[in-house]
Amino acid sequence: MLGRKLVIDYSLYLVTGRELLPPGKDYYESLEESLKDGHVTVVQLREKNIDSGEFLEIAEKSLKICDKYRVPMLINDNLSVALALPERVGLHIGQTDIPVQQARKILGPNRHLGLSVHNVEQAEAAVDLDIVDYVGVGPVYGTKSKAGIEEKDVLGPRGASRILQALEKVPKRLPCVLIGGLNEKTAAGTLFGAVCDSNWPDGIAVISAIVAHPTPSVPAANLAKIVKSFKKAFDSHAKEFGAGEPPFTSYDIEKNTINKIAELLRFHRASQYGPPLIQTLTSHVSSTLSANIALAFSSSPIMSHQEAEAEDLGKVTGAVVLNIGTIGDEARRGMRAVGGAANRGGKPVVLDPVGVGASSFRKGVVEEIMNHTQITLLKGNAAELSAISGLEDIQSRGVDSGSGTLKDPVNLVVSMACKEKCLVLLTGKEDYLSNGQHAVKVSNGHELLGRITGSGCALGVVVAASMAAACNFTKHNKLPTTHLGSFMVHSDTNWLFIGALMGVLSMNIASELAAERSDVKGSGTFIPALIDELAAMTPEKIVERAKFGFV
Ligand SMILES: Cc1ncc(COP(=O)(O)OP(=O)(O)O)c(N)n1
Ligand SMILES: Cc1ncsc1CCOP(=O)(O)O
């Protein structure tokens, strides 16, 4: 049993990185600016390229600044530097540094000791040993701040969540911070994405998001706010419901839903931001239709699956679609890079797990994507969603839209949304959309949609474009958004949910209007009519024809 001297609040854990300072910025000045407003709760000094003498010198000066603002300090890796400092200065070590038992022996029971864990086994070992005070879980995303991180090392929020599950052992819970690629855009989604059945992150550790900023007090304040709202939403929710359920704040999504959809479509059609760029990684079978559908729906398609340009495109995309229809190795690598870039940029990600039940290869691909990317909306037919959720009663025969029937579609979408912390859209004769708290059933649509190839894939693009519009809308109206899971929530309205619903309604109502046209004789003539009707979709048509209800 340790007689700990320090009680550390891990909410915002600043790890230093002098090499990342903006040109001309003084390190001590930057550290002081980061701490002065009281948002950073703990600091770790990380120096990779200097000897222990210089490290100690920097640490002594840094400690004065940390003491001034009453922020606890730890040393990264270097045991001798930590030992040369007062006992209130802790040590953080990694898996390849001095073995943790030896570190504890040398440090004594009272010095704070943190350990990095990268997988479930390491997490279990850390809990069993019961000698560290907290663990750093990462890397959650790829980052340039630590050398040698490879794609295979990246956990994603789902991987982090598995580690957190392993950390939760009665009666002792080991505190944990998430690290790697966390910034103002990724932090909230990642915090919620890492929540598991009975455990949650205590905070985030960042280097570049603060250190590389010319005014570090700004990201420090914003990040602290994000962690605070996560904790507030999560704590009150966990007390009431338990950790596994999504920690939504109370908002009334049902109220005025149709008016909000109309408002959003009006905004999207006239948007001063221009058509959102929808990066679509999709099957070659549906590529052309999807691109034309995107254009018809006031969006700009870009069908690139090149890993090499993912980062550049990630800066300008409005949303991305990851569709595994005809996936090969190149697209698989591309999805990893594009998903990561979208998460880092806070852009909505639609996953279309086409035919996932048809082969273990497809299952593996979907599992991989969901592990490395926090999905915003998972879209699938009954067979696909059943395969992902492990339901046995429906078997996929191929990659077509044959969806079978489900005994309890509402339960499926709600429980999957809770588990995966994303919106879930079940497509079929009727569509079901859930955010884990609400579920809506949409009864619009026409059977001709099922007779053209790629209509489901194109729906994914329309939904992505609609969610991109929702992001622009909240930005434009300066709505106080926050992210819960991968959702962007306004105090009383989840605009991503509204956006997704707008996409489903637009596509389905366009299909009805197309099928009603006298020039449409069958599936061949239906395709151009569908594109035309989608291009001509208006808020008024949606209000007039929408058939949906909360279930
Ligand atoms: C809070 C926190 N978590 C993880 C790390 C990574 O530590 P480590 O694995 O030892 O890698 P280096 O930092 O030494 O490159 C950390 N530093 N802090
Ligand atoms: C030290 C470390 N360990 C895992 S990721 C990482 C670097 C985190 O830096 P950044 O916050 O800039 O991604």
Q: How far is residue 28 from each of residues 50, 61, 85, 214, measured CA to CA in Å?
A: 17, 8, 18, 13
pLDDT number for residue 436:
82
Share of the chain above pLDDT 70, in %: 89
Instruction: Judge if pTM exceeds 0.80.
Output: no
pLDDT number for residue 224:
96
Could you tell me if the CB of 237 is within 6 A of ligand 1? no
Rounded to an integer, what distance in angstroms lies between the CA atom of residue 282 and that of residue 286? 7
pLDDT number for residue 181:
92
Please check whether residue 251 is in contact with residue 245, taking contact to mean a CB–CB distance below 8 angstroms.
Answer: no
Give the tens place of pLDDT for each residue, 338-394: 998 888 788 899 999 999 999 999 999 999 899 888 889 999 999 999 999 986 554
The owner of tokens 């069958």 is: 522
- Cα Rg for the chain, rounded, in angstroms? 25
Residue 141 three-state SS: coil
Ligand 1 nearest atom to the CA of residue 134, by list position? 1
Span of 234-243, 311-320, 470-479 with lowest mean pLDDT: 234-243
Could you tell me if the CB of 146 is within 6 A of ligand 1? yes
Rounded to an integer, what distance in angstroms lies between the CA atom of residue 55 and that of residue 72? 17
Which of the residues are catalytic? 457
Could you tell me if the CB of 344 is within 6 A of ligand 2? no
pLDDT number for residue 176:
96
Nearest ligand for residue 44 CA: 1
Kindly report the average pLDDT of the chain as a whole number.
Answer: 89
Give the number of C-alpha atoms closer than 13 A to the C-alpha of residue 57, restricted to the C-beta side: 5
pLDDT at 483 over 60: no
Q: Decide which of 143 and 346 is more confident.
A: 143
Residue 322 three-state SS: strand
Rounded to an integer, what distance in angstroms lies between the CA atom of residue 332 and that of residue 356? 14
pLDDT at 252 over 80: no
Residue 172 three-state SS: strand
What is the SS3 assignment for 265-321?
Answer: HHHHHCCCCCCCEEEEECCCCCHHHHHHHHHHCCCEEECCCCHHHHHHHHCCEEEEE
Rounded to an integer, what distance in angstroms lies between the CA atom of residue 30 and that of residue 433? 46
Between the CA of 476 and the centroid of ligand 1 the distance, in Å, is 38
Written as one letter, the residue type at 226 is I
Rounded to an integer, what distance in angstroms lies between the CA atom of residue 430 and that of residue 551? 12
Nearest ligand for residue 78 CA: 1
Ligand 1 pocket test, pick from 116, 145, 182 with the greatest ligand atom count within 8 Å of Cβ, gives 116
Q: Residue 198: which pLDDT band, with cuts at 50, 70 and 90?
A: confident
ipTM higher than 0.90?
A: yes
Q: Which domains are delineated in the chain? A: 12-240 (3.20.20.70), 257-550 (3.40.1190.20)
Concatenating the DSSP letter of every residue in 326-388 gives T--HHHHHHHHHHHHHHHHHT--EEEE-TTGGG-HHHHHHHHHHHHHS--SEEEEEHHHHHHH
pLDDT at 309 over 80: yes
Give nearest CA residue, ligand 1 atom 15.
146
**Cross-strand pairs, 380:** 426
Give the tens place of pLDDT for each residue, 94-121: 999 999 999 999 999 999 999 999 999 9
Q: Decide which of 4 and 48 is more confident.
A: 48
Rounded to 10°, the helix 360-372/329-345 angle is 20
pLDDT number for residue 329:
86
Give the tens place of pLDDT for each residue, 390-448: 865 544 444 444 445 788 899 999 989 888 888 999 999 999 999 887 899 999 999 99
Please check whether residue 182 is in contact with residue 190, taking contact to mean a CB–CB distance below 8 angstroms.
Answer: yes
Please check whether residue 132 is in contact with residue 10, taking contact to mean a CB–CB distance below 8 angstroms.
Answer: no
Q: Decide which of 4 and 283 is more confident.
A: 283
